[in-house]
Structure 1
Amino acid sequence: MSITQHYLLDTYRARQQGEAPPPAPGTHDWQVMREIRDHRRFRAVVAGRPAHRRIRHALGRWLHGRPRSTW
């Protein structure tokens, strides 16, 4: 069953039971991604690592063999 079919089935069931319909698929995707990013930054700070541009710095070290200058 696809996501769309599942959503339509849930909407139908909610309507039959007089409940509010569920949010459409993809409605909160960006919010979830921001929360994941914030949680990773928080964990980095708690662990004593830099909280930003970690991936870019790692790729710079991997590609160029030396640390890249900070911006």
Structure 2
Amino acid sequence: MQVGPTATDMNPEDGESADSLREVMALGRYGRPHEIASVVSYLAGPEAAYVTGANWNVDGGFTV
């Protein structure tokens, strides 16, 4: 799973490089921890039992 810029205490969305990162992201904002956790929860749960060999980009369009 690839994760893009996520708003945390160590990586604040108003930090030094935040504006330049937002400029290259399709959604134009930092991710929220609960958004990342939701994908992790899904992949760890029974609903994803048939998922194999997948690459999930949870990055707000950072790698578009």
Query: What is the TM-score with the length of structure 2 in the denominator?
Result: 0.33
Which structure features the higher share of helix residues?
1
Q: Which of 1 and 2 has higher RCO (CA within 8 Å, sep 6+)?
A: 2
Bigger fraction of residues in strand: 2
TM-score (norm: length of structure 1): 0.31
Decide which structure has the larger Cα Rg and report it. 1
